[in-house]
Structure 1
Amino acid sequence: MKHLTKILLAIAMIIIMCESAFSQSSFYPQGSVIVPGITYAYTRADYYVRPTIVLNNITDKTIQCRVRVYDHNGEDKTALGRVYTGGTNYTILSSGIGDFEIPPYSSRWFNMDNIPVQYSFLGHATIEWSSSDQKAKKALMGKVWNMRVTSVSICDAFEPINNGQPF
C-alpha cells in the first residue's frame, strides 16, 4: 500500500509540474522599451486625441511583437487597440490583442481607436519583441503618432520611440 501511495504521489507531482510548465507563455522578449505619455481622449466623434504606435522591423527575420498600454491607474488597456498594416488602403490585422508579427523590413501600427464611448486616460506603453535569431540585439524602430481631431482642425504630433534609435 505504501508503494502505491508513493507512485500516486509521484504521478500527482509530475502532473502539477507539467501543468504549470505548459501554462507559461512561450514569448521570451529579447528587447523592450517603455513609451511614456500615451494620451487618449474621446469626447465625441468630432473631438478626440488618438495615439498610434508605429513600429518598423529593421531585420531580415519576422519579429514577434507585444504591445501593452496602461492607463493612469496602471490598468491594462491593450484590449482597446487594433493592429494595422498598409497605408491609405489599410487592413486591420487584429483587434483587442497586443501580440502580433512584423515581417522582415515591414511596418505595423498599434492604434488606440477601439473605444466607442467617452473615455480618456494618460498612461504609458511597453513594447517587447523576440526573434528566431537569438543573437539579435536590436530589431525595431518606431514613433508615436498623436492625432488630435476637432470639428475645425486636425493636428498631428510625432515623437520618436527610444530617441529614434533601434531597440
Structure 2
Amino acid sequence: MKNLVRAGLMSAVMVVLMCGGVFAQSSFSAQGGAMVNGLIFGRSGSYVQNTSLDITNVTNEVVHCKVTFYDHDGIDITHLAKVYTGSAGSRTIVLATGTAEYDIPAHSTRCFQLDSGIDGSYRYCSAEILWSSEDKKPHKALIGTARNSGGTGTSLYYGNYPINNGQPF
C-alpha cells in the first residue's frame, strides 16, 4: 500500500513538472487583446484573396504586439504572416516575415498580413491580438481595422471593418 501511495505521488509530481514546462514556453504576458474573425485568404490561378490587420498604437509608449492567426481548423498559421509599415515611396516596407510579433512605436501603425498562400489553398481565418507594454498603466493601447481584398488584377474588391467595434482594446 505504501508503494502504491508513493507511486501515485510520484506520478502527480511528474505531471506537474511536465505541464510546468509546457506553460513556461509562453513568456508573453498580455495586458489586453481582441479576437477577430471573418478573415479569408487564398489563391486560385490568377485570383488572389488577401487578409490583413492594420493595428495602431494609441499610447505614448512602445507597445509589443503579438498576433496569432488561426485557420478554419484552429491550426496556428502565423508562419504565413508578414509585418509591414508604410514608406514615403510607393511601396510598403516588410519589417518581419514568418512572425506576427512586433513592437509598434507610439502613435504608429503596422500592417499584419497573411501571405496569399499556395495556389489552390483557401482558408477562413481568425486572429488573436495581444499586447503588452513596459508601462503597466494603460488598459487600452491599440485600435485596428481588418481588411479583406482580392481579385484578378482587372477585377478587384476591397472591404474592411473595425476591430472591437472601433473601440481601443
Q: Same fold (TM over 0.5)?
A: yes
Q: CA deviation at 1:150?
A: 2.0
2:42–2:117 Cα contact (<8 Å) kept: no
Q: 2:101 aligns with which of 75, 99, 102?
A: 99
| Residue of structure 1 in register with 2:50 after alignment | 50
Query: How many Å separate the matches in 2 of 1:82 and 1:151?
Result: 21
Aligned length: 150
SS at the partner of 1:152? coil
SS at the partner of 1:148? strand
Query: How many Å separate the matches in 1 of 2:70 and 2:91?
Result: 29
| Residue of structure 2 in register with 1:25 after alignment | 26
2:49–2:116 Cα contact (<8 Å) kept: no
Q: CA deviation at 1:126?
A: 0.4
Question: What's the TM-score once normalised by structure 1's chain length?
Answer: 0.82
| Residue of structure 1 in register with 2:166 after alignment | 164
CA offsets 1:46-74 (integer angstroms, 9 cap, x no match): 31110011000000100000001101110
SS at the partner of 1:79? helix
| Residue of structure 1 in register with 2:60 after alignment | 60
Q: CA deviation at 1:119?
A: 1.0
The alignment yields a C-alpha RMSD, in angstroms, of 2.1
| Residue of structure 2 in register with 1:149 after alignment | 151
Query: How many Å separate the matches in 2 of 1:34 and 1:124?
Result: 7
| Residue of structure 2 in register with 1:38 after alignment | 39
Structure 1 unaligned blocks of 5 or more: 1-15
Q: CA deviation at 1:89?
A: 2.9
| Residue of structure 2 in register with 1:137 after alignment | 139
Q: CA deviation at 1:133?
A: 0.9
Q: What percentage of aligned pairs have identical amino acids?
A: 36
Structure 1 residues 109-128: aligned runs within 5 Å: 109-113=111-115, 115-128=117-130
1:56–1:141 Cα contact (<8 Å) kept: yes
Question: What's the TM-score once normalised by structure 2's chain length?
Answer: 0.81
| Residue of structure 2 in register with 1:73 after alignment | 73
1:81–1:114 Cα contact (<8 Å) kept: no
1:69–1:78 Cα contact (<8 Å) kept: yes
| Residue of structure 2 in register with 1:13 after alignment | none
1:82–1:114 Cα contact (<8 Å) kept: no
Query: How many Å separate the matches in 1 of 2:144 and 2:33?
Result: 12
Structure 2 unaligned blocks of 5 or more: 1-16
